Amino acid sequence: MIGSESTLQRYAAAALTSFATQLLEAAGLEPERARVVAETLVEADLMGHSTHGLQLLAPYLASLESGTMAKTGEPDVVADHGAAVTWDGRYLPGPWLVNEAMTLAFERVADHPVVTVAIRRSHHIACLAAYPKKATDRGLFMLLASSDPNERSVAPYGGLLPLYTPNPIAAGIPTKGEPVIIDISVSTTANGVVSRARQAGEKLPAPWLLDNQGNVSDDPNSFYTEPPGSVLPLGGVDLGYKGFALGLLIEALTSSLAGFGRADAPGQWGASVFLQIINPEAFGGREAFTRESEWLAAACRDNPVNPGQPSVRLPGRRGLQLRAEQLEQGVALYSTILPSLQPWSERLSVPLPDPIRI
């Protein structure tokens, strides 16, 4: 979330994309791949997902420098059955790999009602909400999920030891109007939110963590102890068994289908990815699909609310509104992001972007 955006400086989205592209090129990425990664990161900031936008650029640059993110090459094809494809991403840039997989699925979905791509050994894929609009703009239904088989931050419900990741899942549902864009993790919060709160010396908005003794906590420092604390599954201490079940589902869709995961002990930051593109025309028909999805969306928006309360807001609505506003007025960039990139700006001789003068 952007937070108190009125106090933040604004930057033209194009200037931020150019800045990020130049840094990634200077770090060794080919121009087209640098552009795709930069656009994906800026798209996240446009939609208000500021922990998964340009906040990730500095660690991506560090991964390029260390060699843990591959600069060149193509994914290896593990299996290709037309409608079902598996890639070994060889730790190539995650946003580029996902965009390549989407392009492949868009090409094949005319011949196959459902196209599924599983990717193992991808590097981190950034914000999942940055992708589905590309599918819904084509009238297609999209599912996307990700896990990191090297990281452990969420304990299984009833357990104390972190075992798996927040495991986000996203969907793009076309309607007759604005699409429904879903992007949720199956934990109470994301690792980036915990890290940002700790760096800011702030408490979390609610007790979303378990300390290593099994006590609920809103103190991000309780996550970084030895032994470590954990992020609660979605549903918290009362209903976390539901989030735990969803976490296992995401693990199966990503690492298990791709054939590489926690059992392989990867040893570095990365991602297992599940992407599915569904053509509604091949089922009940695109017109019937959007008639139903639009009816349900309208019924949700028109649902009665308590006096003085805002109307029901569908998933993705705020992000799409914010995106439109920030494309016009500039991106209210979170205050710590450019300072984290200043050392890279100096080292790679890429000047920081200038804020918009209001």
pLDDT digits (tens, 9 = 90+) for 120-155: 999 999 999 999 999 999 999 999 999 999 999 999
Residue the block writes with tokens 């920030």 = 326
pLDDT band at 358 (very low <50, low <70, confident <90, very high): low
User: Domain ranges in the chain?
Assistant: 73-188+232-303+307-322
> Residue range 1-21: average pLDDT?
79
Domain at 73-188+232-303+307-322: CATH architecture: 2-Layer Sandwich (3.30)
Question: Residues 321-345: what's their mean pLDDT?
Answer: 96
Q: How many residues does the chain have?
A: 358
Residue 203: CB partners within 8 Å, gap ≥ 6? 197, 218, 219, 220
pLDDT at 4: 45
The one-letter amino acid at 303? N
The pLDDT of residue 7 is 58
pLDDT tens profile 71-101: 999 999 999 999 999 999 999 999 999 999 9
Degrees to nearest 5, angle at CA 126 with 120 and 130: 110
Report the pLDDT value the prediction gives residue 1, as an integer from 0 to 100: 38
Structure confidence at residue 357 (pLDDT): 73
Across residues 89-116, what is the average pLDDT?
98
pTM of the full structure: 0.95
Whether residue 3 has pLDDT greater than 60 = no
